[in-house]
Structure 1
Amino acid sequence: MPRLGRAVGIALAQVLLVTASASAQDASFFQDGQVDVPALIRAGGIIGWIIVGLSVAMVALILEHLMSIRRGSLMPRRQAEELHQLIANNQYNEAETLCRQRHSFLGFVVGAGLQETGLGYTAVEKGMEDAAQEQAARLYRKIEYLSVIGTLAPMLGLMGTVWGMIQAFGEFAEAAVPQPADFAPAISQALVTTLMGLAVAVPALAAFAIFRNRIDEFVAETSLVAEHIIKPLKRSIVEKRKGRPAATGTAPTAAAGSRPSVPTVAMEREPRR
């Protein structure tokens, strides 16, 4: 059975590659000295269309990441202020409910810390740290598809080019009087898939690097904001250990009704470009 499976796989690969080569050789992507892009794509054959599919997936992933991996989505300012106010007033259950209702990186981290309030502030910090690492790992896995596309696209392009070169050299060897002018079109068509693969790989890897840096930045900022939000809880735990009642409404605000202070390093700073 393994040998039969390998034989079937090799036969299917040969059929696909022969079809791709025939499509590439039938296509002419030069019109009056100008490159005809649709004809260029057709010249890539089946492998070329696979690379086009990867390019569509790459664009969709980039657009999705631009919407989800941003400061306003990972750590909403309003949620940070409300959580800070609730925790400052010792309303831990309400704060935990708010974290569950509004899904965000910040809410997940603060909610994980609030679940450990009965075990002391050290457990709270450990819970927040573990939650931040878990969410960061999810974000990294999310953008990993861009790296996969950036790796696969040039490999597919190289495979199509190698097969096209094999076909071109075969035709050159069978010609009675081979001329370099007859050999050039086949070579140019064979290189189409390499061009297409590189055209997809370059932006995919560039986008992967940009989003990876953004994740590093936002994870650090979210951890800083979460630590600031949870500070009143630390004060409350210390006061309880000393046998004194925890102060209520001790949020560091200038006057009643004013918004609580949130570190400006994450909330006011313009995103880096």
Structure 2
Amino acid sequence: MDILDLFYKGGPAMWPLLALSILALSVIFERLWFWLRILTQEQEIVNRVLDAAGENWEVAADIARQATNQPIGRFLYAPLKLVKSDPETFRLALEATAEDELAGMRRGEKLLEAVIALAPMLGLLGTVLGLQQSVGNLKLGEFGTNAVADVPAGIGTALITTAAGLIIAIVGLVFYRLFQSFVVNQVKVFRKAGNELELLYRQSPPDFSNSTSIILREPPKENFNPPRKRGRNKFSSSPEVSEGNDSVDPEQ
């Protein structure tokens, strides 16, 4: 008995189960590709950024900026892109970015939770409807005849939806727990990388005195002295000024 034959024997409840299975598989494949890219590259990114931060903060910021297509790259670049910061601002930038990235890593979990909850119920509903149809077709006078022999076969067919719903829920639950374990591991990775980066910052904070961006944001203030108005000086002893003072009104 092939899968297509089982699908049609399962009855109308197999169609919503099919939709749930497609939804679950799409989320699972997307999350597997997402985690595959992260787990194969993040440790290299962390090592490169931390090694560069111990020598040159500008090089570390450039490496983190190039890795912003990865969550760990955006996490490490958040405090490094600040033009001027103190240890408290540095830590706040790490914490805020970590919350956003971890929330993005949990994308798709709600859909898997819905599939895990709905698939067994839909399967059970299909079974109940199949049993109702099988037993409801029997008449009181048909008990003990060959018609009753067909009831077990009808019950077996009705149980197809229950089996399908349980299979979908079990597969979804396995990958749901797997993805949750990945998120928990990322919390540890983010905490460790953030602590090491902050420790390097506190030991040797970057020198912002030579930063061009700071000069652009905070231009140096020039001592501006307005030009003095050239005129008569009654306290001057020069002949020209004395002659100019002679023209002052005698009444003053």
Pair 96,175 (structure 1): closer, same or farther in 2 beyond 3 Å: farther
Q: Does 1:46 align with 2:12?
A: yes
Please give the alpha-carbon distance, in whole angstroms, between the structure 1 residues aligned to 2:36 and 2:191.
15
Q: Does 1:220 align with 2:185?
A: no
Aligned to 2:217: none
Q: Does 1:108 align with 2:74?
A: yes
1:149 and 1:201 in contact (8 A); partners too: yes
Q: CA deviation at 1:230?
A: 4.1
Pair 175,98 (structure 1): closer, same or farther in 2 beyond 3 Å: farther
Aligned to 1:99: 64
Unaligned runs of 5+ in 2: 210-252
Q: Does 1:200 align with 2:165?
A: no
Aligned to 1:142: 108
SS at match of 2:142: coil
* Bigger mean CA offset, 180-189 vs 82-91: 82-91
Please give the alpha-carbon distance, in whole angstroms, between the structure 2 residues aligned to 1:185 and 1:224.
59
1:41 and 1:48 in contact (8 A); partners too: yes
2:123 and 2:165 in contact (8 A); partners too: yes
Please give the alpha-carbon distance, in whole angstroms, between the structure 1 residues aligned to 2:128 and 2:8.
17
Unaligned runs of 5+ in 1: 1-34, 246-273
Written as runs of structure 1 = structure 2, the 5 A alignment for 1:39-188 is 39-70=5-36, 72-73=38-39, 76-92=42-58, 94-102=59-67, 103-116=69-82, 118-172=84-138, 174=139, 176-179=141-144, 180-188=148-156
SS at match of 1:141: coil
The percent identity for this pair of structures is 25
Pair 208,200 (structure 1): closer, same or farther in 2 beyond 3 Å: same
SS at match of 1:191: helix
Aligned to 1:15: none
Please give the alpha-carbon distance, in whole angstroms, between the structure 2 residues aligned to 1:141 and 1:64.
10
Please give the alpha-carbon distance, in whole angstroms, between the structure 2 residues aligned to 1:85 and 1:36.
58
Please give the alpha-carbon distance, in whole angstroms, between the structure 2 residues aligned to 1:139 and 1:201.
21
Please give the alpha-carbon distance, in whole angstroms, between the structure 1 residues aligned to 2:185 and 2:41.
12
Summarize deviations over 1:164-222 as a string: whole Å, max 9, x none.
222223212x4642343132222222221111100110111121012101210122123
**Higher radius of gyration, 1 or 2:** 2
Please give the alpha-carbon distance, in whole angstroms, between the structure 1 residues aligned to 2:66 and 2:140.
73
Q: CA deviation at 1:138?
A: 1.6
Please give the alpha-carbon distance, in whole angstroms, between the structure 2 residues aligned to 1:53 and 1:223.
39
Q: What is the alpha-carbon root mean square deviation over aligned residues? A: 2.8
Summarize deviations over 1:62-116 as a string: whole Å, max 9, x none.
3332232248447523322332244223434x54444343211211111222245
